[in-house]
């Protein structure tokens, strides 16, 4: 699903290429659409390439290949489907334009919008559009749309078991469904991620909603850190810097340092300083942090809290949550509201100035991102 800006760029490339016989340079695209920088153009071109709207891009000014018009096809968008608790399918007879390479080689296809988070380990997040090939059979391990209880539809991985079928979510916190009968309505062949309708964090209601999600992620992060923690050399170094060293406080600061970095990665992404859609695993996180060192060398340099390696599942949960929001308008006022709403007076007294230092540091870093973006874009 194209954003408004991506469609403008694609339309210009098509019209320019048709008129002149070759594609425009990044600089020509920037001037035509009055964009801030060539790096902004590169970001959108990368998204168009990932979506199949443009061909492979080499490191040449005019090496943009246009996919053929017939490769963009319309398929029915039949409403929403639960990727959690089963719900009745909503039949909304709309259509959606998708690249043909997202379809299977044969068969009839339709799209559904995912509601829920039970398939996030398969890279399927709340709000994504999934492309389904209509079929009434499936093999063990296929991700399918299943009709159960005559009128309930759900999205799960299917396995045959004695006396019926197991519908397995790709989320370890959720239990599988075991049913005696079901009807396979189709198999997932691809996923289209959508950023349309993301919530801006300069709106109070969105900020409060984000606060609640962030609280839950902090709790999960702290639980995972405490479970993984074992006395190490980093903890010994940290102990020598604290007046009242405490294992719980070390875990607390580890968690907040980690989330500080994650938040800044999303700010960099939304300000077009980094290009990524999801963080699926620790290796990808490590690579992104290395890229971010060019922007925030003092933040992403190695530190004593890097002993913690988050689970892939936690990273996928964070991706699912953060991609609902637009971090572009982050500024000091917003971080102030976040601080006031999230940290209670009782917590501030209990933990002293740690939270204040953390959010002050985060606020200054986000302001730096704004300043960096203005200077360079």
pLDDT tens across the length of the chain (377 residues): 667 788 888 888 888 877 766 678 777 888 888 877 777 787 788 778 777 777 654 434 445 655 544 467 888 888 888 766 555 555 556 888 887 888 888 899 998 888 888 888 888 888 888 999 999 999 999 999 998 887 788 899 999 999 899 999 988 888 999 999 999 999 999 888 765 567 887 777 887 888 888 888 888 999 999 999 988 888 888 888 877 778 888 888 888 888 888 888 888 888 777 888 888 888 889 888 888 887 766 667 778 888 999 999 899 889 888 988 888 877 544 444 444 444 445 544 444 344 444 444 444 444 444 444 445 44
Q: Check whether residue 217 and residue 316 sit in a common domain.
A: yes
Q: Which stretch of DSSP H or E encloses residue 189?
A: strand 183-192
The CATH number linked to 132 is: 2.10.109.10
Is 352 found in the same domain as 263? Answer: yes
CA 46 – CA 59 distance, rounded (Å): 12
Residue 206 and residue 311 in one domain: yes
Catalytic residue set? 118, 156
Looking up tokens 């379809």 gives 103
- Based on the domain organization, do 166 and 252 belong to the same domain? no
* Residue where one domain finishes, among candidates 157, 192, 227: 192
Does one domain contain both 203 and 182?
A: no
**326-329, long-range: CB within 8 Å, 24+ apart, which pairs?**
326/198, 326/199, 326/200, 326/201, 326/270, 327/201, 327/263, 327/266, 327/267, 327/269, 327/270, 327/271, 328/200, 328/270, 328/271, 329/200, 329/201, 329/202
Alpha-carbon distance 188 to 133, whole Å?
6
Whether 101 and 242 map to the same domain: the answer is no
Decide if 78 contacts 186 (C-beta within 8 A): no
The reply to whether 219 and 349 lie within a common domain is: yes
- Shared-domain flag, residues 312 and 204: yes
DSSP structural state of residue 137: -
Total tally of structural domains belonging to the chain:
3
Do residues 10 and 145 share a domain? no
Structural domain of residue 21, as residue ranges?
A: 4-67
Q: Which of 192, 212, 246 is the last residue of a domain?
A: 192
Domain end call among 172, 192, 212: 192
Letter string b/e over residues 299-323, b meaning 16 or more CB atoms within 10 A of that residue's CB? bbeeebbbbbebbbbbbbbbbbbbb
**Do residue 101 and residue 43 come from a single domain?**
no
Can you give the pTM of this predicted structure?
A: 0.61
Task: Give, rounded to a whole angstrom, the gap between the first and last alpha carbons of the chain.
Answer: 25
């Amino acid at each position: 699903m194209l954003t408004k800006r991506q469609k403008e760029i694609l339309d210009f490339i098509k019209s320019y290429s048709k008129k002149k016989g070759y594609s425009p340079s990044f600089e020509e695209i920037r001037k035509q659409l009055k964009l801030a920088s060539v790096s902004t153009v590169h970001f959108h071109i990368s998204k168009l390439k990932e979506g199949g709207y443009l061909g492979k891009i080499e490191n040449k000014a005019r090496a943009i290949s246009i996919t053929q018009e017939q490769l963009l096809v319309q398929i029915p968008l039949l409403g929403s489907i639960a990727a959690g608790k089963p719900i009745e399918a909503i039949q909304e007879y709309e259509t959606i334009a998708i690249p043909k390479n997202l379809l299977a080689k044969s068969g009839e296809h339709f799209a559904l919008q995912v509601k829920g988070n039970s398939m996030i380990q398969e890279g399927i997040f709340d709000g994504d559009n999934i492309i389904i090939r209509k079929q009434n059979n499936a093999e063990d391990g296929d991700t399918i749309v299943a009709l159960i209880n005559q009128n309930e539809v759900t999205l799960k991985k299917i396995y045959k078991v004695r006396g019926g079928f197991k519908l397995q979510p790709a989320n370890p916190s959720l239990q599988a469904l075991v049913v005696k009968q079901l009807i396979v309505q189709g198999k997932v062949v691809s996923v289209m991620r959508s950023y349309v309708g993301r919530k801006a964090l300069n709106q109070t209601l969105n900020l409060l909603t984000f606060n609640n999600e962030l609280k839950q992620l902090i709790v999960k992060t702290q639980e995972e850190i405490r479970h993984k923690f074992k006395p190490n050399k980093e903890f010994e170094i940290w102990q020598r810097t604290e007046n009242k060293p405490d294992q719980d406080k070390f875990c607390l600061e580890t968690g907040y340092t980690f989330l500080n970095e994650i938040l800044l990665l999303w700010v960099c992404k939304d300000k077009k300083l980094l290009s990524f859609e999801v963080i699926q695993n620790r290796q990808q996180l490590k690579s992104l942090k290395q890229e971010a060192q060019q922007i925030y060398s003092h933040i992403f340099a190695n530190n004593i809290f890097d002993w913690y390696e988050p689970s892939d599942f936690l990273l996928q949960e964070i991706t699912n949550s953060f991609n609902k929001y637009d971090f572009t308008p982050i500024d000091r006022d917003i971080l102030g509201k976040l601080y006031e709403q999230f940290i209670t007076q009782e917590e501030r007294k209990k933990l002293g100035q740690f939270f204040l230092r953390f959010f002050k540091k985060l606020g200054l870093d986000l302001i730096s991102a704004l300043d960096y973006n203005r200077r360079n874009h």
